[in-house]
A and B are shown apart, each in its own frame.
Chain A
Amino acid sequence: MYATSYHRPSSISEAAALLAATDEAKYVSGGMTLIPTMKQRLAAPAALVDLRHVADMKGIHIDGSRVRIGAATPHAEVAASSALRSACPAVTVLAGLIGDPHVRHMGTIGGSIANNDPAADYPALALALGATIVTDRREIAADDFFTGLFETALEPGELVTAITFDLPEKAGYAKFRNPASRYAMTGVFVARRGGSVRVAVTGAGADGVFRQADMEAALAGNWSADALSGIAVPSSGLLSDIHGDSDYRANLVKVMAKRAVLAAG
């Protein structure tokens, strides 16, 4: 790791000011990606602005059907939230499947969303729930937010402060873990609100998280795992690596989608 300076702001405005004050400064939340990257000397921010102590960015609030999760909320807190578990258990299930206990106590939802790792879990949740990504400057629909591998609609210096979404009627998440990293080799989040169904796939897409339109149409007409049986998932556009080629991932997309629907009930 190269030398860097560390800052611990307690408000969003202080964080933004600190970031602006140093060239090559970076926000760090749980640091689950950034810190290992720095240790490998692949990233060298001159300053780190730690978001984990900004009170306005923490906590889970459910107001009627609207859920707001502060960006600096760690996965373990989401996984353990009894309010969320009764309102939308798929969210807590997903959070509980991220990494291991150490990772879940450090990593945050905002960090995961902003990093947009193609194998991260939260992007699938955000896309399937039609979430809104709240920043210190604006609100961005999830559909517009994830723009490619590790790419988002965030502008330089823009800070994710919260994720909000309406509770779905039904939602489910199924994940097939990479045997080495335990990241999603394929994760599928399904959600239904009235006649509208969203199916979001992470871990499998060569361009990152994506919606599976054929499955959404099939499930809108018939909300059951069987409705997916006839769908052929193309392997084009899917990732291939030493753990799984695109054919295998295409299979996993379908299998995990079915399991997500079954989990959603």
Chain B
Amino acid sequence: MGIEGIGARVTRKEDKRFLTGKGRYTDDMVVPGMKYAYFIRSPHAHARILSIDTAAAQAMPGVIGILDGKQLLADGIGNLICGWMIHSKDGSPMKMGAWRPLAADTVRYVGDAVAIVVADTLGEARDAAEAVVVDYQPLDAVVEAVDALKDGAPQLHPEAANNLIFDWQIGDASSTDKAIAEAAHVTTIEIHNNRLAPNPMEPRATLGIYDGAEDHFTCYTTSQNPHVARLVMSAFYNVAPENKLRVIAPDVGGGFGSKIFIYPEEVVCLWASKKTGVPVKWTSDRTEAFLTDAHGRDHVSQVKMAFDADNRITALKVDTVANLGAYMSLFSSSVPTYLYATLLSGQYAIPAIHANVRTVYTNTAPVDAYRGAGRPEATFLLERTVETAARELGVSPAELRRINFIREFPHQTPVIMNYDAGDYEASLNAAMAAADWNGFAARKAEAAGRGKKRGIGMSCYIEACGIAPSAAVGSLGAGVGLWESAEVRVNAVGTVEVLTGSHSHGQGHETTFAQLVAERLGVPIDNVNIVHGDTDKVQMGMGTYGSRSGAVGMSAIVKALDKVEAKAKKIAAHLMEADESDIVLENGELKVAGTDKALPWFQVALAAYTAHNLPSGMEPGLKEGAFYDPSNFTFPAGCYIAEVEIDPDTGTTDIVQFVAADDFGNIINPMIVEGQVHGGIAQGIGQALLEGVHYDENGQLLTASFMDYAMPRADDLPSFKLSHQNTPCPGNPLGIKGCGEAGAIGSPPALINAITDAIGTNALTMPATPQKVWKALQSAH
């Protein structure tokens, strides 16, 4: 692998600027004449806008313009859309209500944008915003999805009767029902998956710049996929045609999915820049982030799992209600459907599965993909159900999983997915050994002597990454293809630029992508520059989410490198008067195999650009592009074990051990992979123990700051014991599966299984706060 190639623990190239405060984020951008925006937002969860009076505010110091939804509508700016069409089981298309970038007549959640104030300073914009009088007629609000489906519930959108967006199903209902009816044992459980706020460290921001001379827009924004942002803003929102709109996502401080989507603010700031004639910058504050960043999760599911007399799973039936909030965010429909129900087979051979999913409008922030996006919901449901079944059946949780594992690949599940490779028992065995599972009874007894209740729990997760084969997702309703692009530009001196459609917002692409080039071309990673995040620089690309940048983005780079290498070999063969098939690229040299003839890499690159002596008919230059469309999803999997001690006096959970045994396929940089797992587990622990978005019954957000929304902190986390049992992915050239979300997917059920094991009761929802655990203990006794 070399010291900088694939598999090396190279420290991150990008960290020097991040750790010295030299990152270049959207809010750092300053352009001549730039002014500041403040959004006026609805304080009501549901209300009709009767009037907006800006007269006094317009006259205030520094005010450049105050624009509202009626003006936006008049200028033909389009509605925000959901780009993945789902059909209900009756064949009807999903019922998408109108989402105006600035609400024109009705507001549907607290934080819904109503108007934008542009002023010389942010303070002046806020001052003026306070002088704008918006007359609201409050309407009844509904917060919980299950309540929104009830007769007489407040209605959000005329397009969606009973607030139902779609009623979708997957799998075979009749064979599932038959297996349940004939089962030796059926485990029945209700599963809640709590709503989460994404909270990337960098809040969302955007800078809209309209150049009247060129009739051209530039949008700096905190995006995970600037090209998708440009496409959507051009094709659907009518901001500007693509050739008149440049989108730049510079350094981005975390996304976790929440920066995939196009939000009202980007669209409005671009439009406002044209209206006012000045560049318009907006940066979210933390409370705006809590109010308006797309939330994650929020499912309620009824589950039945059937077993035969040998404890083999014969069927799984799931009925889920998913809360999508007040509007359908960009990919919201795909999360509780194709990213969720297709994973309900887990690591198990289940002959019959049926899942029904209803998605619902409520007067809450929109819900969309958040780290894991559907797969944590599937894993939590499945692993809580299997654990509960093991307790009911009186078998060890490891044994019940083991006898149901899929052992032959490829494996076709009843819910679309075709698993290509894996070794679930290897991860289970590794995790149990690392956790000293067999020594648990002694540890539990020792803890009991100290007055603590000790519990252990496992979770065997599978997820689908590498999204995704474009034709396959197209057939399932996706409005885009999910390939990736790359261009490899070798400069005349042999240094390399890689232009990628992937976007790094914490993943370390500047390092790992450079390692791939170092591995292939033998150049030092310092001679490799990774270019991303600018639609004017980089060819069309699909961006980063769903742990896809390694499996899909790097595969595109591999394809481009293949072409570069082939051309370089042709040039080298010509220069050394050898046969092309005898040229090998090793240690930065192009050699004639079996001889001492060699040319250093830079000489071949130089030859390509001087073009003094190229093979007949060859074009000068050494620059190649490629698009890679995956043939299948990838399937990272693993086994996580959590061991906890509960303080019965307070209900406090102390995580005394956490083991993660993962199969990510081949790994480019183990240090970065471990960092991804650490971060993912931290977020999983956050979901399991700490985090939860709370609205009151009127739709007011109670967790609108870190004073009330409990984010995991260093002292909430144990040290993690990590290991890898990798089976290479057969579906892509590097054998990569993806590692970005696994930690957040696998950890919550392991923790809740451990806590419920400790306290001896199964009824416990996330987050398992000290109060909830204490109350569960009180009712258990």
Contacts and interface: CB of A to CB of B under 8 A. Distances in A.
17 contacts: A2-B123, A2-B127, A179-B690, A179-B710, A180-B706, A180-B707, A180-B708, A180-B709, A242-B703, A243-B708, A243-B771, A244-B770, A245-B771, A248-B771, A248-B774, A251-B650, A255-B649
Interface of B: 123, 126-127, 130, 649-650, 690, 694, 702-703, 706-711, 769-771, 774-775
- Interface core residue of A244, A248, A252 (most chain B CB under 10 Å): A248
A238 to B, nearest CB: 13
Nearest to B127: A2
Interface in A162-202: 176, 179-181
Give the dominant DSSP class at B's interface: loop
A-B CB proximity, top 4 nearest: A180-B710, A179-B710, A181-B707, A255-B649
A41 B127 CA distance: 10
Contacts of A43: none
A181 B708 contact: yes
A100 B728 CA distance: 45
A179 B711 CA distance: 8
Contacts of A251: 649-650, 774
Contacts of A255: 649-650
Given A2-B123, A181-B706, A242-B694, 16 more contacts: A2-B127, A41-B130, A176-B770, A179-B710, A180-B706, A180-B707, A180-B708, A180-B709, A180-B710, A180-B711, A243-B708, A243-B769, A248-B774, A251-B649, A251-B650, A252-B650
Interface string A215-259: 000000000000000000000000000111100100110010000
Given A41-B126, A248-B771, A255-B649, A242 B707 contact: no
Nearest to A176: B650
Nearest to B703: A242
Contacts of A180: 690, 703, 706-711
Nearest to A39: B285
A181 B770 CA distance: 15
A1 interface: yes
A98 to B, nearest CB: 15
A245 to B, nearest CB: 7
Contact of B769 (A1, A179, A181): A179
Nearest to A254: B649
Interface in A31-64: 41
B123 A3 contact: yes
Given A3-B123, A248-B775, A255-B649, A179 B770 contact: yes
- Interface core residue of A3, A176, A242, A252 (most chain B CB under 10 Å): A242
Contacts of B703: 180, 242
Nearest to B708: A180
A244 B694 CA distance: 13
Nearest to A249: B771
Give the dominant DSSP class at A's interface: loop
A3 B709 CA distance: 30
Contacts of B769: 179, 243
Nearest to B767: A179
Interface residues of A, number: 16
B36 to A, nearest CB: 14
B574 to A, nearest CB: 64
Contacts of B711: 180
A41 B287 CA distance: 13
Contacts of B694: 242
Given A180-B708, A255-B650, A242 B702 contact: yes
A2 B124 CA distance: 9
Interface in A1-50: 1-3, 41
Contacts of A245: 771
Contacts of B707: 180-181
A244 B771 CA distance: 6
Nearest to B774: A248
Nearest to B707: A181
Nearest to B287: A40
A130 B1 CA distance: 69
A242 B708 contact: yes
B123 A1 contact: yes
B551 to A, nearest CB: 36
Contacts of B702: 242
A41 B126 CA distance: 10
B130 to A, nearest CB: 8
- Interface core residue of A180, A245, A255 (most chain B CB under 10 Å): A180
Contacts of A252: 650
A3 to B, nearest CB: 7
Contacts of B649: 251, 255
A187 to B, nearest CB: 13
A8 to B, nearest CB: 23
A176 to B, nearest CB: 6
A176 B647 CA distance: 12
B717 to A, nearest CB: 13
B550 to A, nearest CB: 34
Nearest to B716: A179
B88 to A, nearest CB: 35
A1 B122 CA distance: 10
A243 B130 CA distance: 32
Contacts of B709: 180
Contacts of A181: 706-708
- Interface core residue of B690, B694, B706, B771 (most chain A CB under 10 Å): B771
Contacts of A176: 650, 770
B762 to A, nearest CB: 21
A179 B774 CA distance: 15
A176 B774 CA distance: 14
A242 B711 CA distance: 15
B627 to A, nearest CB: 46
Contacts of B771: 243-245, 248
Contacts of B130: 41
A181 B130 CA distance: 29
Interface in A136-151: none
A245 B771 CA distance: 8
A248 B707 CA distance: 19
Nearest to B689: A179
A38 B690 CA distance: 28
B415 to A, nearest CB: 36
Contacts of B775: 248
Nearest to B696: A242
Nearest to B651: A248
